[in-house]
Structure 1
Amino acid sequence: MRILVVEDDRILGEAISQRIGRMGHGLDLAQTGAEANQMLALQEYDLMLLDLNLPDMTGNQILQNLRKKHSSTPVIVLTARDEIKDRIELLDLGADDYMTKPVDFGELEARCRALLRRSQGQAQNTIEYGNVCLDLQACTVTVKDNTIALKQREFRLLEVFISHTGRVLSKEALIEHIYNFNENPNASVIEIYVARLRKSLQGSDIHIRTIRGLGYLLEKHHA
C-alpha cells in the first residue's frame, strides 16, 4: 500500500517513515503543506499520516481540501492538541483517527493496519481469497493452512492484488502502490515479482492472469 507522511519535523518524519517502511509499504514524506498537496495531486494514497503544524499552512487546510475533492483516503492526524473540542473539529473535518504526540510507534502501526483494513472492507487482520490467507500483522501467507515464504515486496504485491479483486491492474498502478516517489523501478521488476508470486501460489486455487496490453488480474481457478 502507498502511504503519505506529512510531518515538518525531519527527525520525527524520518523515524515514522522508517517504522512504516519496515511494514513493506510504499511511503512518501512531505515536510510542508505545498509538498503534501503536490503529492496528493499526483498520486492516490491508501493512507495519510498528517501533522497539523506545518510551516506554510495547517494540516486542517490540507484535510479540508482533500475532503472537498471527495477523496476517501483514510487520514490519521498527529497532533499535540488534546482538547475534546479539537478532536471533534478534526473528526468533523474528515479525519478518520488521531493520535496525540509523542506517538507510540507500536500503536501507530496498529492504527495504520486498522484503517487500511477498514478501507478494504476487512474487519480482521487477515484477508482471505480462495484458500489463500494473508495475515497483515504477522506478514505471513498460508495456502491450505501451509505457510509459504514470500519476500516483503512480494507480500505487499499479493496484498494489492487481493484488495483489488475483479480489477485489472497495470504495471504502473502496481508500482505506485509499493514504491516511493524517490524510487524509479523499471516496469519489468513487476514481471519478476509476478513470476515469483505465480510460482509460490502454484498449490493454491488462485492465479494471476496476464491481460495483454493492460496488466494483471487475480482470479480463482475454475472448477
Structure 2
Amino acid sequence: MKVLIIEDSKEFSKSLLDFFNYDGHSTDHASNLSSAYDYLSVSKYDIILLDIMLPDGDGRDFLKKIRKQNKNIPVIVMTARSEVSDRIDLLDVGADDYIIKPFDLAELEARCRAVLRRQSGQNQTCLKFKNLSLFPLLAKIEISGKPTSLRNRELRLLEIFFNSPKIFFTKEQLTDRLFSISETISENAIEVYIARLRKKIKNSKAKIENVRSIGYRLIEK
C-alpha cells in the first residue's frame, strides 16, 4: 500500500510515517497542500490520509479539487471535529472515511484496508488467482493449501498484481507503487523482487509474465 500523509504536525507525522513504514508500506509526507499537489502530480497513491487544518488552506478544499479532477484515490480524513454535521460534511465533499483524533494507529490501518476493500470490491483478507491464494494480513501465500511466507516488499508487489490480474505494469509504475519518492532505489530492484516472487509461486498455476518494452503481469500458466 502506498500512502500519502498530509499532516502539518511534525510529531504526529513522524508517528504515522514510522508506523506505516515499519509495517512495510511505502509512504510520502506533505506538510501542506502545496506539497500535496506536487506529490500527486508525480506519483500514484493507493490512499491519502488527510488533515483538515493545514498552514496553507483547508483540507476540504483540497478534497473538493481532486474530486473535480476525477481523481478517485481513497481519502481518509483525520479530524478533531466530532460533531455529526462535520462528519456528514466530510463525506459529502468526497471523503471515503474519517477518523477522530486521537486514535489508535492500528485502527487507522484497519480503516485503510476496509476502504481499499470497498473500492476494489474484493475481499482483501484473502485474494485468489487460480490455485494461488494471497493473505495480505498474514503476509503469506498458499498454493493448493501449502503456505509460504512473504517479505514486506514481496507482499506489496504481489498485492499489486492480484488486484489487477492480467494487466501490464511497467517497471516505472511498479517502482512508483512500491517505493516512496525519497527512497534511493537500485536500477534492478524490481527485477530482484520479481525473481523472488517467481520462485515462491513456481509450483502454482500462476506466473508473472514479462513482455519486453511493455511490462509485467500476473497470468495463468
CA contact (8 A) 1:113 1:137 kept: no
The equivalent of 1:93 in structure 2 is 93
CA distance in 2, matches of 1:91, 1:51: 14
Superposed structure 1 runs of 4+ greater than 3 Å apart? none
CA distance in 1, matches of 2:113, 2:181: 22
The equivalent of 1:191 in structure 2 is 191
Alpha-carbon RMSD: 1.2
Matched, 1:31 2:12: no
The equivalent of 1:153 in structure 2 is 153
CA distance in 1, matches of 2:124, 2:177: 21
The equivalent of 2:162 in structure 1 is 162
1:60-95 Cα distance to aligned partner (Å, 9 max, x none): 111111101011100000000011110111000000
SS in 1 for 2:113: helix
Task: Give structure 1 stretches of 5+ with no counterpart.
Answer: none
- % same residue: 39
CA contact (8 A) 1:171 1:187 kept: no
1:146-191 Cα distance to aligned partner (Å, 9 max, x none): 1112211011111111111121111110011110010131331111
The equivalent of 2:138 in structure 1 is 138
CA contact (8 A) 1:128 1:134 kept: yes
TM-score by length of 2: 0.96
* Worse-superposed segment, 22-31 or 196-205: 22-31
Q: May I ask how many residue pairs the two structures share in their alignment? A: 221
Shift of 1:124: 4.5
* Correspondences of 1:18-97 after superposition (within 5 Å): 18-97=18-97
* Worse-superposed segment, 210-219 or 72-81: 210-219
CA distance in 2, matches of 1:78, 1:85: 15
CA contact (8 A) 1:4 1:48 kept: yes
CA distance in 2, matches of 1:20, 1:118: 20
The equivalent of 1:174 in structure 2 is 174
TM-score by length of 1: 0.95
